[in-house]
Amino acid sequence: MSTAVILMNLGTPAQPTAASVRRFLRDFLSDPRVVEIPRPLWLTILNCLVLPFRPRRIAPAYEGIWNRGVDGARVAGSPLLYYTRTQAELLQEHFYSNGRDLVVEYAMTYGGPRLHQVVETLRKKGIESFVVFPLYPQYSATTTAAIYDQVAQIFLKSRDIPDISLVRDYYHNPLYINALANSVREHWQKYGPAEKLLLSFHGIPKANTEKGDPYYRHCLETARLLADQLQIAGECWQVSFQSRFGKAEWLQPYTDKTLTEWGARGVASVDVICPAFSADCLETLEEISVENRAIFLDAGGSEYRYIPALNLRKDHIEALAAVVENRLPGPK
């Protein structure tokens, strides 16, 4: 049986322009998994208040990170697309070098390449089994469930449905936690530990958690496992949540407000890591590395350092491979 692994991430505008950002946001924010406001009301807000103005505001931020990866390293186009594509290439090399005859591709939930296009191409090549791997360590209905929806839609009218496995989460996978811990240790070996370690996760509306989304619990468990690996005291680290959108209450504490409070009360140095992001993107390279750095320094802090996402680290690729191995058809 021929098997393909499809790595999936959120997606990105095709270009750092207002028009391209608008197309991407329309696709992304039209998904009822992402915004759960009643559809007629939300679509009115989206088309009348969000899409006419927000793309022009955030296109310069995309332009600022375009062709630029971690520490200013040059990448081709969108960092998120570059890192996801290269992760697929490295995972392919890993399996080949270990005697595994697997095809590894990548797709995006929004923007391109789209999952249905990748699946169609692979099926024409004779692929009979798929492992769809959302690169979200912590499950949320706003991210992973949207991919479940797309998989179901692709095969809704098919008679000959292939063997399909979806990775729901891997927040407690030991190799993933170990890769995070290694990245922090290497950072500390180079710079020394800061006074505080902030674990900033992407936020979701608080109401989603109250309705049963397990994301908040997964984030807290990720943080606990990482702190245990690093053997750091509770007063030296904290969880926070970033990237809130709109006026509703989101998961707290908020990253920007936490950094403001720390700077104001005399915390001199902060290390920030974003364990929910498998690849660096706008939310890490701009929001965390630039915007929140300024917030902390303006509040009175002295030293602010961002610890990059796991991206192309060898131990990260090995962790992804281990997750895939557990999902492959046949005896384990």
Task: Name every residue whose Cβ is closer than 8 Å to that of residue 51 and which is 6 or more positions away in sequence.
Answer: 22, 25, 26
Tell me the CA distances in angstroms from 87 to 99, 109, 169, one per residue in order: 18, 16, 18
Instruction: For residue 19, give the amino acid letter.
Output: A
Cα 46-48-54 angle, rounded to 5 deg:
65
Contacts with 304 (C-beta within 8 Å, 6 or more apart), sequence order: 259, 269, 270, 272, 292, 293, 296, 297
Which tokens is 63 given?
């332009």
Burial 260-295 (b: 16+ CB within 10 A, else e): bebbeeebebbbbbbbbbbbbbbbbbbbbbebbbeb
Euclidean distance between CA atoms 96 and 118, whole angstroms = 20
Please check if 261 is assigned to a binding site.
no
Q: Which class for 324: exposed (0-12), middle (13-18), buried (19 or more C-beta within 10 A)?
A: buried
Pair of tokens at residue 57: 């505001």
Work out the number of other CB atoms within 10 angstroms of the CB of residue 40: 8
139/276 Cα distance (integer angstroms): 10
For residue 202, say whether it is annotated as part of any ligand binding site: yes
Q: What whole-number distance in Å separates Cα of residue 60 and Cα of residue 113?
A: 23
Q: Look at residue 114 and give its three-state secondary structure.
A: strand
Binding site membership: which residues? 202, 283
Which residues fall in the annotated binding site for Fe(2+)?
A: 202, 283
